[in-house]
Amino acid sequence: MRDGKWGYIDRSGKLMIKPQYDRALPFSEGFAQVRVSGSWMYIDSTGQVVLQRSGGPFRNGLAATRDWRLRWGFMDKSGTLRIPPEYELVHDFRDGLAAVMGQNRLWGYVDTNGQTVVDTKHETTWDFHEGLASCGVAGEIKYINKKGEVEFNLPKDATRGLAFQDGMALIMVGQENGYINRTGQIVIQPDQKYSYWHWFSEGRAGIHVGDKWGFCDIKGETVIAPGFDEISSFADGLAAVRQDGKWGFIDKAGKFVISPKYDYAFSFYEERACVILGSTMGYIDKAGRLIWEPTEFVTDWKDPLD
């Protein structure tokens, strides 16, 4: 951001689209949503306006959009409606399927052709990750495949089953957390060893003990002792952590490779991380070098569909 306007840089920090937008969201499948004078639109990587309408990010070639009745459907990159707006709520597509809420206020899934794969009959759903999704109805939680077939059910006293990541899914049995693998086998038993967990990422999951965070491995063994006030998941081999009020980055041995000096730090993505210093925001590489000098930062971001 410069002079109150947003633009885009490449991975080296080179300015590619000059700051000119009141708001600008990340690119997804070649398109980005930007706002100018109160109106949202989509641009391509050259900054050319390609769609003069609001919507969600493109996933699997489709983006969520809604009509005057506030019903949701999906459009393609030409702005053509591919799935009619007949749903109360929708999620973005993942793994070729999107969770949709019918007018009965229950959830199901559709494919990119708008064909119903799972009827809207579930009280809760999670997006598909690694080919599986959890859904709940009448107090029972099951995991289904992309054909809508049930792969396995969680124990009857399970109260939560989250999305798979790194081949593991967090579950809650009673008030205790554990993990299952892709066959539904419990590989880390639910217990009170840790008070809270994060998702697994790169073989590590965040764990909470007392008022501090650390990390465990896929066996549930502590590999980085709890000593941080806040953490994020590992990405590109590093995790953002907060210690003594400042954020830095540690490696998988728990050693700081970028010292804690930021007011906030986001996870790395493609070896670049966004960091905040005071009221400015910049980007660093994995060595902690600035590739985009900190510039002004705003906190009153609004979703283009609100």
Q: Taking the CA of residue 271 as centre, how many other CA atoms within 13 Å lie in the half-sphere pointing to its CB?
A: 9
Rounded to whole angstroms, the Cα distance separating 241 from 231 reads 4
Q: For residue 146, with 0-12 CB atoms within 10 Å meaning exposed, 13-18 middle and 19 or more buried, which class applies?
A: middle
Residue range 166-172: mean pLDDT, rounded: 92
Whether 303 has a pLDDT exceeding 60, the answer reads no
Q: Residue 184: which CATH number?
A: 2.130.10.10
Same domain, 76 and 43: no
Q: Are 66 and 164 in a shared domain?
A: yes
Distance CA 128, CA 29 (A): 19
Flag the least confident range among 44-53, 142-151, 294-303: 294-303
In a domain, 255, yes or no: no
What is the distance in angstroms between the CA of the first residue and the CA of the last residue of the chain?
A: 22
Q: Are residues 49 and 130 in the same domain?
A: no
Residue whose pair of structure tokens reads 């309408």 in the numeric block = 53
Query: What's the pLDDT at 177?
Result: 86
Query: What is the predicted pLDDT for the residue at 1?
Result: 77
Same domain, 87 and 184: yes
Q: Would the pLDDT of 44 be above 90?
A: yes
- pTM strictly above 0.75: yes
Q: What is the spatial distance between Cα 193 and Cα 112, in angstroms, rounded to a whole number?
A: 42
Q: Is 112 helix (H, G, I), strand (E, B) or coil?
A: coil
Both tokens assigned to 129: 């990750």
Task: Tell whether 287 is covered by a domain.
Answer: no
pLDDT tens string 215-273: 999 988 999 999 999 999 999 999 999 999 999 999 999 999 999 999 999 999 999 99
Residue 103 covered by a domain: yes
Are residues 19 and 103 located together in one domain of the fold?
Answer: no
Domain boundary among 138, 160, 190: 190
Identify the domain containing residue 12 by its residue range. Answer: 1-54
Q: Is residue 118 a contact partner of residue 108, using CB atoms and an 8 Å limit?
A: yes
> Do residues 47 and 96 both lie within one domain?
no
Pairing of strands 204-209, 212-216: antiparallel
Q: Give the model's pLDDT for residue 13.
A: 87
Q: Quick one: 45 and 60 in the same domain?
A: no
Is the model more confident about 114 or about 156? 114
